[in-house]
Every structure is written in structure tokens, then in C-alpha cells.
Amino acid sequence: MNKEAKIYIAGHRGMVGSAIWRILEKEGYTNVIGRTSKELDLRSQVDVNKFFEAEKPDVVIDAAARVGGILANNDFPYQFLMENMQIQNNLIDAALQHGVEKLIFLGSSCIYPKFAPQPLKEDYLLTDSLEPTNEWYAMAKITGVKACQAIRKQFGKDFVSLMPTNLYGTHDNFDLNTSHVLPAMIRKFHEAKQDNHAPVILWGSGTPMREFLFVDDMASSVIFALENILPEHLYNVGTGEDLTIKELAELIQKTVGHQGEIIWDSSKPDGTPRKLMDISKMHELGWKHQVELAEGIQRTYEWFLENEGKYKEVKL
């Protein structure tokens, strides 16, 4: 990849997009561009096409999405379905219409069926029903994957989809109404520690198993896809290792230094029992994660402490 190629990162201020931007600059790419949501409404097909006509990017990295945890997905199903479809469809179609040769579409492991065999292989897509608590977001992402696949098949373009496992890291969302499980736990344990090590109430039974990938590793997989022509349209990205939510809570509790009780509210949903990614395809091509979970949580907590207060600005 030419280091002077114009690379447009959609969602460049989010956790994933900003990590991709940092690693691109570190690797010597000199023509990386982005637009805030105020500067460019990705839900508007007209605005997106005007942007592509004016900027003519060589590469598009779609890290833009409306995201959130179980609560947000459950409370705002229409927005999670429609807005994500609008964003990705406008970007993918504009990239096709304006001659973009490479597009990297980022999705989520929630695209796979709730009770699919473990670990999750790319071939399991659309083989059974989805997890009800996030099916709206999953359906949107599935349409993005299939759109990129269709473009590869019909037009021969290098459009590839990367499906990460659960992501976390610096610049994460710590708003308790919209955040995912790991950053929500960091905030809960931190605030309970400040409150004389008060008990922490966590959702579910603690028995589901989850896999977590540090955001800088996700960014490195995007650079890998950028600098190589991947032979297939869909690739899982993860660590290939998981742990129970209870084990995750205990690890975060230890990192934060909270010494109080953990109470599990089993009246709340657990979600999918297990979501472990089969990452053999990416490993065979030569990519592998570098940051292990304990180190990643420590780095994330340190960033949280440095930026405490800013996360409270997140709104739906």
C-alpha cells in the first residue's frame, strides 16, 4: 500500500477508528482523513456522495456504527437496525460508485447464531437464529458483510469484512447506559472503591464465556488487511481465548483494587452462553494479537483514570 494513498476512516473519533488512525500515523501513512458526525452525517446518502466526490479517497475503512450493550440494544432496536444500515450502505455504495479499490468493513461477532458451535467459524453465518438481545445490530452488520461479498463477486473489488470479538481499550465508552460489559465493570468497580468498597451488582449469573480483544490489536488487523490482499471476503479477528464473566469481574476487581462484595443479579439476562471466535484463517495468513487481557485491562483502567468525567458526556 502506498503510504501517500488517501485513506478515509469513517468513525475516526471512536475507540476503534482512533486506534486505527494512531497506528496508520505510526506506520508512516501521510494522507489519512476523517470527518466528525457534525461535519458529515453518514446517515445521509446525499451528503456521503458529495464527500466522496470531493475527497476521492483511495481506501475506505468503515469503523463507524451506533454501538452499545444489551440495555441500549433492547431499548432502541429501530435505531440500532436502521442507523447502522444507513451508515454502512451509504459508505459501501459510495465507495463502489466512486471507484474506491479497497474497503475494509468492520462488524461484530454478534452476527453469528446464538447457539452456533464453538469456536465460531466464518461458515456459520446465517445458519441459525441470532441472539435476541442484539439481533437488530447483528442484522445490520450482516447486510454489510453480504454487500461487500456481493461487490467482490460482481465487480471484483477488494472489499473485505473483519469481524472482531468483544473489543475494549483506551477511548472506550464508560457510560453505564450504553457501554459494553468490560468498560461498565471498570467504572462500577472504580466508583464502588471510591464509595468505601461498596458492593458491586452485576447483571446475570456470571457463567457466560466471552473473548476480549484489545483495540490496538484490532487496529493492527486492519493494517494487515490494508497491506495485504486477503483471498476471502470474511475474517474473524480475536485472541482465540475466553473466560467466564465471573472471572472477568474478578480480574477487573483486582486491577481496580476494589475489596467489596460482588452480587450477581440473576434476574437480568445473560445473553449468548459463549462466543469464542475461530481465528485460524487470520493466523494462517500471518496476523496474531499481541496484548493479553490482564495487560489490556490495566492499560484501559489507566486511561480511564486519566480521562475520568469525559465518559459522562455520552448520550443516545
Task: Report the Cα 113 to chain-centroid distance in Å.
Answer: 18
Check whether 109 is labelled as a binding-site residue: yes
Residue 44 assigned as binding residue? no
Q: Is 14 part of any known ligand binding site?
A: yes
- 316: Cβ–Cβ under 8 A, 6 or more apart, which residues? 68, 72, 76, 79, 177, 178
43 is annotated as contributing to ligand binding: no
- 212: closest CA among 170, 185, 181, 190? 181
C-alpha cell at 263: 452480587
Has 141 been labeled as part of a binding site?
yes
93-112: string of b/e by CB count within 10 Å (b at 16+)?
A: bbbbebebebbbbbbbbbbb
Nine-digit cell string for 140: 445490520
Q: Is 257 annotated as a binding residue?
A: no
Q: Which of 8, 29, 112, 137 is catalytic?
A: 137
Other Cβ atoms less than 10 A from the Cβ of 273: the count is: 12
Amino acid (1-letter code) at residue 24? L
Task: Say if residue 180 carries a ligand binding annotation.
Answer: yes
Check whether 98 is labelled as a binding-site residue: no
Residue 165 counted as an annotated binding residue: yes
Annotation-wise, does 267 bind a ligand? no
Active site residue 137: yes
Q: Rounded CA gap, 73 and 75, in Å? A: 6
Pick out the residues of the known binding site for substrate: 188, 203, 210, 270
Pick out the residues of the known binding site: 11-17, 106-109, 141, 164-167, 180, 188, 203, 210, 270
Catalytic residue set: 137
Pick out the residues of the known binding site for NADP(+): 11-17, 106-109, 141, 164-167, 180
